[in-house]
Amino acid sequence: MTERLTQDLVIIGSGIAGLRAAIEASRVSPTLRIGVVTKVQAMRSHSVSAEGGTAAVLYPELGDSFESHIFDTVKGSDYLADQDAVERFVRAMPSEIYQLDHWGLPWSRRVDGRIAQRDFGGYSYPRATFAEDKVGFHEMQTLYDTCTRFPNITFYQEWFVTSLLVEQGKFCGITAIEMKTGAFVAIAAKAGIIATGGAGRLFSFATYGYSSTPDGMTMALKAGVPLKDMEFFQFHPTGLVPSGILITEGARAEGGILLNRDGERFMKRYAPAKLELASRDVVSRAMMTEIEANRGFVDEKGRPYLNLDLTVIGAEKIKERLGGIREISMKFRGIDPVEKPLPVKPVCHYTMGGIDVDIDGATSIGGLWAAGEAACVSINGANRLGANSTAECLVWGKITGEAAARHALDRTDGSPSDEQISREEKHIFDEVFHGKGGTNPYQVRDELQSTMDKNAFVFRTGERLAEAVRVVRRLKSEDFLHCDDSSRRYNTNLTNVLEVESMLLAAEAFLVGALARTESRGAHARRDFPNRDDANWLKHTLAFNTPDGVKLGYSPVKITRYQPAERTY
């Protein structure tokens, strides 16, 4: 029998965006019942892995400006960002940095005691605010600690959300599996926020934790909300080989350089002004070009890489500013970056696309918002600048938390129907838990990831994308919806299968959009269409779920002050 719970506001996800939303909702009204539902323990949300910085204009008197941050972000997006959203974001960020400071975040400091900032790729001023190289951890710790001061916030940790409950176009709650007991639970709510992060585990070589699957995105898609710009995935230049663990952009900001097999600092040929601190799509394409031209290295298992040399920074600065990176390098690669270069190559790092929302983070479903990497506002367009992601989580965490709280206070109607809940329970337990399929779901996941790595990585072609679409649609039709583990308690086999189902739907949205977009823009690099085509493609892709598969639509880009121009670094 389905257990029933009630909250005023339910937040799905406990990363930076979800925690910031919970705090802001509580500040609106301490009487609101707020539930934060997360499939991991809250402090294991992938936001803790952010390393290098959070962007904000803190020192206009020293040369920075809102206009500069806005333009850098729009240019970095390859002019696909909505410029009204970018301006709102940039103007809101400084107060978020100071708010975290007041809540106790230990920002790194300049010699004069003021908050320190470092340079990041694509910026014209060093505005990445940092706490050594553990920014995400410190932001999460600060936000989680602040949440504990509000008695009206309840955490449902290790609860796997399976669906959104929507009645007549209005959000009414969620269904979830309590992992500890295996109980199926319906939580009725007057408002909801999806803050479940990105979809980077569609690739096997990724900086994402294994829990970073697109569950929240595909729940929205199944409920009728389109996904926007899913073809734009960011590949960070420096993933540690072979693990894919992120080596922060802060390593290059502090002076690290990229070298090919000939010992050449090759970025001078691709971005002579910014070198290693060009935008991430530019650096990643340059690195893959070097590797494909046989100017890279190959390890003992045939894996290609280039060298990231941090020895030029000096031992003391590495220990002071990049202590976490040094620890990671020694623990996972057996290399001390004080003494030797690190083997790196581009790695899947960020989902620029996501749930289609307006400038307030609202979806097309009444009472439902989305924030952070799960959402597409869009401030990132075709390519995100480093340090804007944690910042976006803070800004739209606050915006959606306040909006959802006020909506919940005003709403008096709405409760989920028994029919919806029963239908979802039947899918979970009759079709999956007791399913008898003959295809191994883990093999499906592995084939999906290898297909994405091969056909949709840094460089793409129509032929390869079409092949990937065929593979994904075939995998969707396989009978993998079954569970071999018969236990109800902590049945990760069951949740893994549900994640694979979600991954396939998100991959189809990605690939169909990428195949249709016959241009190169930002992180979407088509070798058969190498140029940007503003006449035909200065528009957002919208992916809709239909009984016949993913279908596409489009929406205009909001341009307020900066007309598209050639990007050079």
Q: Cα torsion at 112, 115, 119, 122 (round to 10°)?
A: -140
Structure tokens at 515: 């195949």
Closest CA relative to residue 217, chosen from 198, 200, 233, 193: 198
Catalytic residue among 127, 138, 236, 524: 236
Three-state SS at 219: helix
DSSP 8-state symbol, 521: B
Q: What strands, in cross-sheet order, belong to the sheet with 375-376? A: 375-376, 354-356, 227-228, 539-546, 549-556
Task: Let me know if 252 is a catalytic residue.
Answer: yes
Burial (0-12, 13-18, 19+ Cβ within 10 Å), 426: exposed
Closest CA relative to residue 188, chosen from 421, 375, 16, 392: 421
- Report residue 404: phi and psi, to 5°: -65, -35
Cα(517)–Cα(462) distance, integer angstroms: 9
**Cα→Cα distances 304→201, 222, 262, Å:** 21, 39, 15
Task: Let me know if 46 is a catalytic residue.
Answer: no
Give 544-566 as a DSSP string.
EEETTEEEEEEEE---SS-----
**Cα→Cα distances 377→86, 227, 318, 543, Å:** 9, 11, 36, 15
Q: ∠ CA 119-124-128 to the nearest 5 degrees?
A: 30
**Cα→Cα distances 238→232, 251, 368, 451, 540, Å:** 18, 9, 36, 22, 28
Cα(493)–Cα(485) distance, integer angstroms: 6
Closest CA relative to residue 231, chosen from 474, 549, 452: 452
Catalytic residue among 252, 333, 482, 540: 252
Convert 280-347 into a string of H (helix), E (strand) and C (coil): HHHHHHHHHHHHHCCCCEECCCCCEEEEEECHHHCHHHHHHHCHHHHHHHHHHHCCCCCCCCEEEEEE
Active site residues: 236, 252
